[in-house]
Structure 1
Amino acid sequence: MIDDKTAPYAALLLRVTLGVTLLAHGALKVFVFTVPGTVQFFESIGYPGFFAYLVILAELGGGAALLLGAFVRPVAVALIPVLIGATLQHAGNGWLFSAPGGGWEFPAFWTVMLVVQALLGAGALTLRLPVPAAVPAWAR
């Protein structure tokens, strides 16, 4: 049974954790690896270089949206392919993220947590933005 009093705070905790982690990973790509370095890395692993820009935008924009509680369900769903790509990239490195090149368990776990967030919704303390009537109820 779901506790209606604490469930919104559980969703909030998950949302804030996902948002902060996404912002940290986006900032890592911008400030540590640099954008050109991230583009070069993506190209070195066989992805088109412009994917680096999309991933950085997804991590920074998606992280901020989750942190604020704006459009949480569609943002979480939109981020799932990014994390599936990360999981696939790390799949050959083994299970643990401490393996050389990083293992696949962390991005796989992160993917599942985005699914959970999409199913739960925003939870408590969200930014309420006006939503056009054409947006389906599940995405609000």
Structure 2
Amino acid sequence: MNKQEIGTFLLRVMLGISFFLHGLSKFKGGLENTSGWFQSIGIPGFMAYVVGMIELVGGIALIIGLGTRIISALLVFIMAGAIVYVKFPAGFMGNGEGSGYELDLVLMIIALHLVLNGSRFLSIDSKLPKLKKTQDSEMIAS
């Protein structure tokens, strides 16, 4: 265990908590309301359900360290969408009428860090057997 592993673990857990709470608020507020809001900004309404589930279930998965890279990749796309469709017009720090995209960008970069580096410290992923790439490649080739 080194400092980088501990730091990445802290990023993973904090990102998981943040997205879990965002997903939970979507469910508590009624996904129908979120769906309607998505439609009002030009995003298909069903995406509210997809995003809500990824945030809620993905947040839990990040906290326990299950599928960290996959969940983080999905969160990168969600945050990119939030920046482009919602926050970008307000600017980096906001314009007095709405918040900016600085927090969304930070969350996206944390998720990207987890995509690139993973986080095996205190994770379920670290307990799963590793697939050997050479064996997989040989099986596919034959």
TM range (shorter): 0.7 to 0.9
| CA distance in 2: counterparts of 1:35 and 1:133, whole angstroms | 38
Counterpart for residue 61 of structure 2: 65
CA distance in 1, matches of 2:38, 2:83: 14
Give the aligned partner of residue 49 of structure 1. Answer: 45
CA distance in 2, matches of 1:72, 1:94: 30
Corresponding residue SS for 1:90: helix
Q: CA RMSD in A?
A: 2.3
Gaps of 5+ in 1: none
The 5-angstrom pairing of residues 31-110 of structure 1 reads 31=28, 33-88=29-84, 89-96=86-93, 99-110=96-107
Q: How many residues align?
A: 132
Tell me if 1:12 matches 2:14.
no
2:113 to 103, 116, 138: 116
Q: TM-score, normalised by structure 2?
A: 0.83
Structure 2: any 5+ residue segments left out of the alignment?
Answer: 135-142
Moved over 3 A (4+): 128-136
| Percent identity of paired positions between Structure 1 and Structure 2 | 29
